[in-house]
């Protein structure tokens, strides 16, 4: 992929302190980005709610999957995908579900971007378990 090519990095070869699926940093090579006419894509913050505002998913796992599907829909509409995501920030209401969240995350994201997962006590709707608050991806300009 000419846009993301070698942009994801780890700060050290020692992986002992890493417990999540993420890159330490992403280098945005502006010269290459200009040559391939890369465009930054910023989907809106997304929960597991559908367009009608009703929660999708009866379990936290179902909500995680729904939120990723919503982001996937936005990325696809913009002409890109999870393979070109470089930053992801997520709020979870139950950090005990960290392993379950990571399993769902792996279903959608093979090459992990820079990522932060933050525990919170509540989201805008009390029944929501997840919000993907930031997602940055790239695509090639038409």
Please give the chain's pLDDT, 142 residues, in tens: 556 555 555 555 554 444 455 566 666 666 667 777 888 888 888 999 887 888 889 999 999 999 999 999 999 999 999 999 999 999 999 999 999 999 999 999 988 888 999 999 999 889 999 999 999 999 888 7
* CA distances, 114 to each of 51, 83, 136 (Å): 28, 13, 10
Which of 42, 3, 44, 49 shows the shortest CA–CA distance to 133? 44
Query: Has this prediction a pTM greater than 0.85?
Result: no
For residue 98, give the 3-state DSSP assignment: helix
In whole angstroms, give the CA distance from residue 68 to residue 115.
14
pLDDT number for residue 16: 41
pLDDT of 17 reads 44
The pLDDT assigned to 1 comes to 58
What is the model's pLDDT at position 45?
A: 86
Helices (H) and strands (E) in the chain, counts: 3, 7
Residue 108's pLDDT is what?
A: 96
Q: Look at strands 114-119 and 8-9 and give their pairing.
A: unpaired
Supply the pLDDT for residue 26: 62
- 82 burial level (CB within 10 Å; 0-12, 13-18, 19+): buried
Q: Answer for the pair 117, 67: CB distance below 8 angstroms, yes or no.
A: no
- Domains plus CATH for the chain? 8-140 (3.30.1330.40)
């Amino acid at each position: 992929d000419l846009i993301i090519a070698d942009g994801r990095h780890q700060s050290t070869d020692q992986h002992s302190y890493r417990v999540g699926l993420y890159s330490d940093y992403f280098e945005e090579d502006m010269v290459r980005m200009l040559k391939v006419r890369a465009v930054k894509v910023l989907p809106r913050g997304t929960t597991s709610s559908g367009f009608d505002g009703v929660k999708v998913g009866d379990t936290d796992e179902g909500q995680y999957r729904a939120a990723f599907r919503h982001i996937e829909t936005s990325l696809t509409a913009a002409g890109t995908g999870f393979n070109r995501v470089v930053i992801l920030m997520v709020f979870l209401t139950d950090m005990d579900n960290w392993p379950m969240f990571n399993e769902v995350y792996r279903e959608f994201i093979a090459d992990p971007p820079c990522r932060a997962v933050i525990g919170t006590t509540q989201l805008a709707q009390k029944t929501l378990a997840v919000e993907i608050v930031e997602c940055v991806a790239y695509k090639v300009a038409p």
